[in-house]
Amino acid sequence: MSCLIESIETLLVDLPTIRPHKLSMATMATQTMVIVRLRCADGIEGLGEATTIGGLSYGPESPESMKVNLDTYLAPVLVGEDASNINLLMARLNKVAKGNAIAKSALETALLDAQGKRLGVSVATLLGGDRHSHLPVLWTLASGDTERDIEEAQRLVDERRHRDFKLKIGLRPVAEDLRHVAAIKAALGDDASVRVDVNQAWDENTAVRAIAALQEAGVELIEQPIPAHQHAGMARLSRRFEVAMLADEGVQDSADGLALIKQGFSGAFALKIAKSGGPSGALQLAHLAQAAGIGLYGGTMLEGTIGSVAALHAWATLPAMQWGTEMFGPLLLTDDIVTRPLRFAEFGVELPSGPGLGVELDEDRLREFAR
Ligand code: MUC
Ligand code: MG
């Protein structure tokens, strides 16, 4: 049976967050996802998700621009083509459109989901095979309130849901942030690890002063303290401190990865399928990191279940990641648009077994939350 692509539908879906999520550049009360439904002549539908954080505050793609660009420029390249040669189709997309990594990631995900369903195998199997079926997942404390964050963390440790915590800082004055982080680390003690994500908010001098104090307080990982393009600065910080540096916004894809490595950066890379134009690009970056002795971390754009599962299939093909993953996005949202939510337990998440992504849309919920 022919597997020509008949149509690609995109939907903006807004889901509320369970509490305000405060980052240095935005406070989120809802998350907006662009859901992609790629339908083929053989009756198979592939699902994908394009999600960013805080409108245009995180990067150059917004949910609304992704929908327009998918509908106007990207989807027309695929409609009428054979869905089974994903490498060829992604190369065509890259020829027609520069950048737009998040939108492209949704399309690659939908193509992988469709092909997996067609062959009766999981997306991880298509990517070479899963090495793990349970992956560790941390939680982000970002209510903006120290006591509330401590209660939230202690409850999650007691429930055996998470034991690694990432604190979002960089919005408040440095001295306040340092007090906040030290109080949380002291309250949690050795039961939990504490990391921070500054989301590019500091200059290098501020970073040097603050990181010394964070290291002293027992923080174990410092994520993107300075602006994304300052690769040499990130390399200097990684050499200066014992505490590990994690590049996030500064490492979108393997070209950035190579630039950081050439500058002498050591530490870890936050892999995100959204940053790298899809699972294949994120794995390319992971393989480069492995060759250079850079640590791996499975990152999120706070996607819902479809985007999170797509990433999990990719991360499952890698050796155990030194820094685990943060694929908790669905838990930050009050609702879900799939019939079977992900199962979070024992400080991690279970990889759905497929075929394809192994998720199914709940049409009623989708209608309820679609814009
Ligand atoms: C980021 O920059 O890492 C990931 C977890 C979270 O809370 O925010 C994101 C974005
Ligand atoms: Mg980050």
Shortest-distance ligand to the CA of residue 57: 1
State how far the Cα of 67 lies from the Cα of 354, in Å rounded to an integer: 27
CATH number of the domain residue 144 falls in: 3.20.20.120
Catalytic residue among 67, 104, 168, 185: 168
In a domain, 114, yes or no: yes
- In a domain, residue 356? The reply is no
Is 183 found in the same domain as 303?
Answer: yes
Q: Which residues line ligand 1 (CB under 6 A)?
A: 53, 140, 142, 197, 199, 248, 299-300, 302, 326
- Domains held by the chain: number: 2
Is 183 in the same domain as 57? no
For each of the chain's 371 residues, which pLDDT tens digit applies? 579 999 999 999 999 999 999 999 999 999 999 999 999 999 999 999 999 999 999 999 999 999 999 999 999 999 999 999 999 999 999 999 999 999 999 999 999 999 999 999 999 999 999 999 999 999 999 998 999 999 999 999 999 999 999 999 999 999 999 999 999 999 999 989 999 999 999 999 999 999 999 999 999 999 999 999 999 999 999 999 999 999 999 999 999 999 999 999 999 999 999 999 999 999 999 999 999 999 999 999 999 999 999 999 999 999 999 999 999 999 999 999 999 999 999 999 999 998 999 999 999 999 999 99
Strand order in the sheet with 193-197: 139-141, 164-168, 193-197, 221-223, 244-247, 268-271, 295-298
Residues in the chain: 371
Name the residue with the closest Cα to ligand 1, atom 10: 301
Do 238 and 318 lie in one domain? The reply is yes
User: Do 164 and 103 have their domain in common?
Assistant: no
In this structure, the strands spanning 27-40 and 45-51 are: antiparallel
- Look at residue 43 and tell me if it is in a domain: yes
Q: Do 161 and 66 share a domain, yes or no?
A: no
**93 and 134 inside one domain:** no
Q: Which domain holds residue 96?
A: 5-124+363-369
Residue from 317, 310, 236, 252 nearest 58 by CA = 252
Measured CA to CA, the distance from residue 58 to residue 49 in angstroms comes to 17
Tell me the CATH number at 34.
Answer: 3.30.390.10
| 358 within domain boundaries | no
Q: Are residues 243 and 165 in the same domain?
A: yes
CB-CB contact of 92 with 79 (8 Å): no
Both 149 and 245 in one domain: the answer is yes
Mark whether 43 and 175 lie in a shared domain.
no
In a domain, residue 287? The reply is yes
298 lies in the same domain as 309: yes
Query: Are 366 and 13 contacting, i.e. CB atoms less than 8 angstroms apart?
Result: yes
Q: How far apart are CA 44 and CA 46, in angstroms?
A: 7
Residue 75 maps to a domain: yes
| ipTM of the prediction greater than 0.85, yes or no | yes
The reported pLDDT for the residue numbered 1 is: 58
Residue 283 lies in a domain: yes
Same domain, 194 and 330: yes
291 within domain boundaries: yes
